[in-house]
Structure 1
Amino acid sequence: MPYLSFASNFLWVMVIGLLGPSIPGLVSELKINYTQAGLFFTLLSLGSLFGTLFGSMSTDYLDRKVIYGVFSFSLCVGLLGVGVAPAYGVILIVIFFMSVLGSPIGAVGQSIMIDMYPQKRERNLSLMTSFAAAGNLCAPILVSLNYTIGLNWRHSFYETALMAFLLFTAIMIIPLPPKTIYQGEGVNPLKIIVHPQVIISGLLIFLSVGVDIGFSYWIAEYFNTELNVPLRFASAVAGVYLTGVISGRFITSRLVRHVRPATIMKGSLILALVSLTIFLSQPIVSVKIVFSFFYGLGIGPLFPLLMSRGVAAFPAQPGSVTGILFSMLSLGGMVFPFLLGTLAETTSIEKSYFFIGGINLILLIAIHLWNRRSG
Structure 2
Amino acid sequence: MNRKLVHIVIIAMFFVSALHLMALHRTLYSIGLSYGLTGSEKGNLISAQMIGSILAALLGGRISDIWGRKKLALLGLSFSTLGTLMMSRTPAFEPLLAYQISIFCIFLVGSGMGIILSISNALMFDLHPQRRVFYVNLGHSCFAGGAIAGPFIANFLIQFSDWPLVYLVNGILTGTIFLCLLLSTFPKEEHILKTSVRVFKGTLKKQAVIWLSICIALYAGSQGGFTSWIVEYLSTNSLLTLSERGSGFFLSYFWIAVFIGRLNYGWIVERSSPFFVLLLSCLVGAGSILLLTKTAHPLSYLVFICLYGLSLSGMLGTLFSLIGQYFPHSSGTIAGMMMAISGAGGAILPNLIGRVTDVQGWGISAGIRFCALYLLAIAVIISLLALLEKNSPLFTRRNG
Displacement, 1:159? 2.5
Give a deviation string over 1:332-371, Cα, whole Å, max 9, x none.
1221343334445667544421222221221221222222
Equivalent residue, structure 2, for 1:370:
385
One-letter amino acid matched to 1:357: A
One-letter amino acid matched to 1:100: S
Displacement, 1:251? 1.7
Equivalent residue, structure 2, for 1:317:
330
Distance 1:101 1:3 in 2: 18
Distance 1:286 1:158 in 2: 38
> Is the Cα–Cα contact under 8 Å of residues 51 and 107 in structure 2 kept in the other structure?
yes
How many pairs were matched up? 372
| Cα separation, partners in 2 of 1:152 and 1:360, compared to 1, 3 Å | farther
Corresponding position: 1:159 with 2:172: no
Displacement, 1:218? 3.4
- Which among 144, 150, 155 is matched to residue 139 of structure 1? 150
Distance 1:233 1:88 in 2: 30
Displacement, 1:2? 2.8
Distance 1:221 1:197 in 2: 37
| Cα separation, partners in 2 of 1:158 and 1:282, compared to 1, 3 Å | farther
Displacement, 1:61? 0.7
Structure 1: gaps spanning 5 or more residues: none
User: Aligned runs of 1:201-212 on 2, under 5 Å?
Assistant: 201-212=212-223
Structure 2: gaps spanning 5 or more residues: 1-5, 391-400
Displacement, 1:201? 2.0
| Cα separation, partners in 2 of 1:288 and 1:47, compared to 1, 3 Å | same
Displacement, 1:78? 1.2
Displacement, 1:65? 2.5
Equivalent residue, structure 1, for 2:374:
359
> Is the Cα–Cα contact under 8 Å of residues 221 and 349 in structure 2 kept in the other structure?
yes
Equivalent residue, structure 2, for 1:125:
136
Displacement, 1:121? 1.0
Distance 1:253 1:180 in 2: 28
Equivalent residue, structure 1, for 2:69:
64
> Is the Cα–Cα contact under 8 Å of residues 54 and 343 in structure 2 kept in the other structure?
yes
Displacement, 1:310? 0.6
Distance 2:58 2:104 in 1: 20
Equivalent residue, structure 2, for 1:194:
205
Equivalent residue, structure 1, for 2:275:
262
Give a deviation string over 1:132-171, Cα, whole Å, max 9, x none.
1111122232234446x36554433333222211211111
* Rg (Cα) greater in structure: 2
Equivalent residue, structure 2, for 1:11:
16
Task: Calculate the TM-score normalised by the size of structure 1.
Answer: 0.88
Distance 1:46 1:198 in 2: 24
RMSD (Å) for aligned C-alpha atoms: 2.7
> Is the Cα–Cα contact under 8 Å of residues 75 and 102 in structure 1 kept in the other structure?
yes
Distance 2:313 2:225 in 1: 14
> Is the Cα–Cα contact under 8 Å of residues 141 and 239 in structure 1 kept in the other structure?
no
| Cα separation, partners in 2 of 1:27 and 1:219, compared to 1, 3 Å | farther
- Which among 338, 352, 358 is matched to residue 339 of structure 1? 352
Displacement, 1:98? 2.5
- Which among 7, 15, 22 is matched to residue 2 of structure 1? 7
| Cα separation, partners in 2 of 1:156 and 1:221, compared to 1, 3 Å | farther
Distance 2:352 2:78 in 1: 32
> Is the Cα–Cα contact under 8 Å of residues 144 and 236 in structure 1 kept in the other structure?
no
Distance 1:114 1:255 in 2: 18
Distance 2:352 2:230 in 1: 15
Task: Calculate the TM-score normalised by the size of structure 2.
Answer: 0.83
Distance 2:169 2:175 in 1: 10
> Is the Cα–Cα contact under 8 Å of residues 144 and 259 in structure 2 kept in the other structure?
yes
One-letter amino acid matched to 1:268: S
Distance 1:26 1:281 in 2: 36
> Is the Cα–Cα contact under 8 Å of residues 79 and 108 in structure 2 kept in the other structure?
no
Displacement, 1:109? 2.2
- Which among 224, 237, 254 is matched to residue 241 of structure 1? 254
> Is the Cα–Cα contact under 8 Å of residues 14 and 139 in structure 2 kept in the other structure?
yes
- Which among 168, 174, 177 is matched to residue 178 of structure 2? 168
Equivalent residue, structure 2, for 1:213:
224
> Is the Cα–Cα contact under 8 Å of residues 108 and 319 in structure 1 kept in the other structure?
yes
Q: What percentage of aligned pairs have identical amino acids? A: 20
Distance 1:146 1:220 in 2: 23
One-letter amino acid matched to 2:171: A
> Is the Cα–Cα contact under 8 Å of residues 80 and 111 in structure 2 kept in the other structure?
no
> Is the Cα–Cα contact under 8 Å of residues 76 and 164 in structure 1 kept in the other structure?
yes
Distance 1:104 1:336 in 2: 23
Distance 1:231 1:247 in 2: 25
> Is the Cα–Cα contact under 8 Å of residues 20 and 220 in structure 1 kept in the other structure?
no
Displacement, 1:287? 2.9
One-letter amino acid matched to 1:327: A
Give a deviation string over 1:171-219, Cα, whole Å, max 9, x none.
111111221427x873533234433333222111111111112211333
> Higher relative contact order at CA 8 Å, sep ≥6: structure 1 or structure 2?
1
Corresponding position: 1:250 with 2:250: no
Distance 1:369 1:138 in 2: 39
Where 2:131 maps in the other structure, the secondary structure is helix
Corresponding position: 1:32 with 2:45: no
Displacement, 1:115? 1.6
